Amino acid sequence: MLGYWGYGDHLDLKLAKLTDEAIEIRSDRFAMTKTRFSACGRSNVNDVWVNATETSFALGRDAFGRVPLYWIKLDSAIWFSTQLKLLLSLIQPTVSYTALYAYSCFSYVPTPLSPVEEISAIAAGTLVTWTQDFTFTVSDLEDWRESGETIYDESEAARQLQGLLSTAIAHQISDLPDEPVGVFLSGGIDSSIVAALLVQAGVKVRAYALDFGVEDSELPYAQQVADYLKIPLILVPAQAKQIIRAISKTARALDVPYGDGVTAALFLLNQAASQEVRVVFNGEHGDQLFAGWTNKPLIANQVYDSEKFSLSKQYLNTFGRLYGYESRIFSESVYERIREIDLQTYLGDALNPEKCASLLAQLRRASLMLKGAQNIQPRATALAQGLWVRSLFCDPDLTRWTFSIPGELMLQGACEKYILKRAVASWLPPEVVWREKRGMRVPLRPWYYGEFWHEIGQWLNPGVLRAEGRWQPKIAEQMMSGQMGVNLRDRYLGNNLWLLIMWQAWRIEVLGESAENYAWDHPFWMPPQVWQGWRRVQNAFDRLG
């Protein structure tokens, strides 16, 4: 969606579309209009909307953040779009260094920033309203917070949750024709619940799972669920060679940079499903609703180091990216421009203790507003490739209900998402329900020392980075050889190298920057320390084999 609102002989709202040749403007004028857009294809679900009257103009986004919304003021008009690339054709874009810094920490660009200096993004769950003099106000539409009533009885909570899940899936399938739908089945509990509910409702289901070509994967659990529910499971190859070929296509599809290592794999998953179905369901948002990850370390830090505990600073570390390494990753010119920026600003109201008294509720609220609405959900929509994407757990009634559940029913000892597991225990095999969450484990690290080595040299070649002028030229070598510390070499290496690669792919494929100055007189040779590390990885794989 692309359009603008501004002055002519009257206040006009015009909608436009971008063709291969040029922007075409529909010239009809609306005195009053309301335009809405849904990512899931349901007529009663509005992810973004535009309201225009004779005296005002407003842009709004649903709280789950499934569809992004960008705007820019040019002369006497507000241009807006659900895709950044449609606005880029109107300006000579400048990269925002604040956004670049935030991306290095979060792996996405937080609202109201966009990666382009001139363009702003509207936050999920807000409405931005302009008046005739182009001043604007921002108002909240949804405010997740703890309920006044708390449900302590475990059996009653499980019973209510079963009903809410069944009602949510009923709403989401009410418009479906009698044809198969897809489910992205990882083998984890969230996507397994979605598949089980669809089967219970009598829907024809085709499950899709990623095959990374490694032994240590979630595939056996996905297959177990598919066999238990008696549905077909289609394996989608997502090994190094497929991922390499998908890098540029993934960057174009995403529209803005997302640095999580799952993006290209999810691109391939959507690509495969789009050949066979029109609607796909995923299990996204289950972690946000039911305290699935990042919570236990933060709770432990508060308990054992309460005097020095700063929730916002600790929360920045949960992203596991490059926060704290600023002087070692950015060029000197960029570092001088970002060194005084406090990224806690972009946590905004998400960690507001006045909204949620308990720490676990604060963390769940933050996860909904930050990692869910600003990363997981818009990313899923961007990668859909024409599919209608539906998320069971993006349900307002279910979300509000979860804030009436005390922490001990969410996190019971070491068991995460306890009340969800308790509610669905009879729907799925116990091995799937009660096992510890592992997440989608894309084997980036071993690939980097093998099939991906050439790609690192191409995307992160020192000559490329030196010509770009934003990153330290030898950042990849320093990370892989351990010069930046053991965490960036081992635990966080995979996603952080991918974060850098996706930035390069985005700036070339979407922003249109040149990639010609490779300066191959500075090739990315494998340093001895890295070669030794690669041999250790190879030896470990040989022992497993």
Same domain flag for 233 and 93: no
- Distance, CA of 75 to CA of 80 (rounded, Å): 14
- Domains held by the chain: number: 3
> What's the DSSP call for residue 136?
E
Q: Are residues 19 and 93 in the same domain?
A: yes
Count other C-beta atoms under 10 Å from residue 139's C-beta.
11
Residue 264 within any structural domain of the chain: yes
Residues 112, 9 share a domain: yes
Secondary structure element (H or E) that encloses residue 149, with its range: none
Structure tokens at 275: 């050949």
| Last-in-domain residue among 82, 106, 140 | 140
* Average pLDDT, 10 consecutive residues per value, the chain (545 residues): 61 46 37 67 88 85 96 89 91 97 98 98 96 92 86 97 98 92 96 98 97 87 97 97 97 97 97 97 94 62 54 87 95 97 93 88 93 96 95 96 94 90 97 82 85 86 91 91 83 91 97 72 51 61 56
Q: Is the dihedral of CA 510, 512, 513, 518 positive or negative?
A: positive
Q: How far apart are CA 385 and CA 309, in angstroms?
A: 43
pLDDT of residue 24: 38
Whether residues 80 and 183 fall in one domain: no
Q: Rounded to a whole number, what is the largest CA-CA distance in the chain?
A: 76
In a domain, 273, yes or no: yes
Q: Which value, in Å, is the radius of gyration of the alpha carbons in the chain?
A: 24
Question: What is the C-alpha separation between 224 and 240, in angstroms, rounded?
Answer: 25
Cα separation of 417 and 68, whole Å? 28
Residues 122 and 159 in one domain: no
Spatial neighbors of 155 by CB under 8 A, at least 6 apart, are: none
- Residue 253, pLDDT score: 97
What is the domain-level CATH number for residue 174?
3.40.50.620
Cβ contacts of residue 279 below 8 Å, gap of 6+? 40, 41, 176, 181, 182, 387, 388, 390
Q: Which two tokens stand for residue 307?
A: 């005097």
Same domain, 9 and 122: yes
Instruction: List alpha helices for 80-138, DSSP H.
Output: 84-88, 97-106
Whether residue 355 is contained in a domain is answered as no
Note the Cα 517 to chain centre separation in Å.
31
DSSP state of 352: -
Same domain (yes/no): 261, 397: yes
Q: What is the spatial distance between Cα 264 and Cα 272, in angstroms, rounded to a whole number?
A: 13
Cis peptide before 237 (omega within 30 of 0): no
Q: Report yes or no on 299 lying in a domain.
A: no
Asked whether residue 73 falls in the same domain as residue 106, the answer is yes
Q: The sheet that has 233-237: what strands, in order across it?
A: 233-237, 205-211, 181-184, 279-282, 388-391
List beta partners, residue 36.
Answer: 49
- The answer to whether residues 100 and 188 belong to one domain is no
Query: Judging by DSSP bridges, how do beta strands 56-61 and 126-131 pair with one another?
Result: antiparallel
Task: Tell me, yes or no, whether 453 and 412 share the same domain.
Answer: no
- 171 and 266: one domain? yes
Backbone angles phi, psi at 5, to 5 degrees: -135, 130
Domain-embedded: residue 319 = no
Whether 56 and 135 have beta carbons less than 8 Å apart is answered as no
| pLDDT of 3 | 73
How far apart are alpha carbons 117 and 101 in whole angstroms? 13
Q: Encoding tokens for residue 13?
A: 């709202």
DSSP code for 344: G
The domain in which residue 172 lies consists of 154-292+366-433
**Residue 60 belongs to a domain:** yes
User: How far is it, in rounded angstroms, from Cα 43 to Cα 503?
Assistant: 35
Which of the listed residues 110, 140, 170 is the one where a domain comes to its end? 140
Q: Are residues 224 and 82 in the same domain?
A: no
Question: Among residues 113, 140, 167, which one ends one of the domains?
Answer: 140
SS (H, E, C) 468-484: HCCECCCHHHHHHCCCC
Contact indicator for 190, 372 with CB cutoff of 8 Å: no
A 10 A CB-CB count for 194 gives 28
Q: Is residue 330 part of a domain?
A: no
Are residues 99 and 338 in contact, defined by beta-carbon separation less than 8 angstroms? no
Strands (E), 383-519: 388-391, 411-412, 415-416
Please tell me the total number of residues recorded for the chain in this structure: 545
Q: Is residue 475 part of a domain?
A: yes
